[in-house]
Structure 1
Amino acid sequence: MAQKKARKAESSSQRGKAQKKKAAGQAARAATRSEEVSGIQAFIKYLKEVRVEFEKITWATKKETIGVTVAVLAITFFFAAYLGLVDFSLTKILGLLY
């Protein structure tokens, strides 16, 4: 019997905590709703923030851009030639075996 009373007391305290959490969540949502802005205002704010972030970008110089482009093209041609040579070699080797 004492165990039943203890369980009831425990479950009622849990319900009380759950109700307090629920009430706190509803209050937070109500406060947030009052701070919400319309879709157009939010979009305008977004565009302003994009502009601010866009000004923080450090752009590469023309010399850096050309240098990196040349490096990428050189590496691409090197690997293309290497893979072409490997393909050609394996084709010849397998052609001799079959």
Structure 2
Amino acid sequence: MDDIGQNQSDPATQVSVSPPAVKKTYTPVSKPTAPKEKTVIDKSIQFLREVKVELKKVTWPSRKQTLGSTAVVIIIVAIISLFLGVVDAGLAGLIRAVLR
């Protein structure tokens, strides 16, 4: 016999599987409680706790590094202010000479 074109599923060999019986039970659902709104004080306290945790992660410079960096900043500010003072005086003299 030629099996082409014939349905190869034999109803005698098919097994019907039904889903297992599920016992439905009713569980009362309580009303969801609304989350308590945080006050400004609660939010502030939470913020400060988070700040404390973050500050523990910071690598602080040593006293020597801090003094060295401060000295560099003061020297650079002095040099730049001296330069700008000289340029300002020069331009002021140039403007005076042009206006005479």
Shorter chain as denominator, the TM-score bin is 0.5 to 0.7
Q: Which runs of 5+ in 2 are unaligned?
A: 1-31
- Matched residue pairs, number? 67
Q: Structure 1 residues 91, 58: closer, same or farther in 2, change over 3 A?
A: same
Q: 1:51 and 2:52 equivalent?
A: yes
Distance 1:79 1:57 in 2: 32
What secondary structure, in the 3-state scheme, does the structure 2 residue paired with 1:60 have?
coil
TM-score (norm. length: structure 1): 0.55
Distance verdict in 2 for CA 1:48–1:97, change over 3 Å: closer
CA distance in 1, matches of 2:42, 2:91: 63
More helix by share: 1
TM-score by length of 2: 0.54
The equivalent of 1:93 in structure 2 is 94
**CA RMSD for the aligned pairs?**
2.3
SS at match of 1:92: helix
Change (3 A) 1:44 1:85: closer
- What corresponds to 2:71 in structure 1? 70
Identity between Structure 1 and Structure 2 (%):
31
After the TM superposition, which residues 9-88 of structure 1 pair with which residues of structure 2 at under 5 Å, given as runs? 34-36=34-36, 38-39=38-39, 40-88=41-89
Cα deviations by residue, 1:9-43 (Å, 9 ceiling, x for unpaired):
xxxxxxxxxxxxxxxxxxxxxx8x74555325444
